[in-house]
Amino acid sequence: MGDVLEVDLKKYINQGTKVVANIPYYITSPIINKIIENKDLIDEAYIMVQKEVGERICAKSGKERGILTLAVEYYGEAEYLFTIPREFFILYLMLILLLFQ
């Protein structure tokens, strides 16, 4: 399929699609904008984002609100569901040794 930001989603998804994704911090806004652009096909999107980003998207008032907050509000609604504890995101490094004879 390829890079979600480059692919024409209309070729791959049907009306009523539900999106479930863990979005990397550095492309959160472009991916959410892509979801909004395809809102005619996407019924719901359950996305996991960095806590601070989620707080901004769901902000009701104040300086935390931004353009992404306004876009989400205009085209739909955002709802905070739950926080996943930090300990679930500990990275384990693994060293693999390959021997060739």
Q: pLDDT tens-digit profile of 41-50?
A: 988 889 888 8
Task: Give pLDDT tens digits for 10-69.
Answer: 999 999 898 888 888 889 999 999 999 999 998 888 988 888 888 888 888 888 899 988
Q: Is 3 annotated as a binding-site member?
A: yes
Report d(CA 42, CA 36) in Å as an integer: 8
Report in angstroms the alpha-carbon separations of 69 from 29, 33, 40, 53, 64.
10, 11, 19, 10, 9
Q: Model-level pTM? A: 0.80
CATH of segment(s) 12-100:
3.40.50.150
Task: Say what the pLDDT of residue 11 is.
Answer: 92
Mean pLDDT across the chain: 82
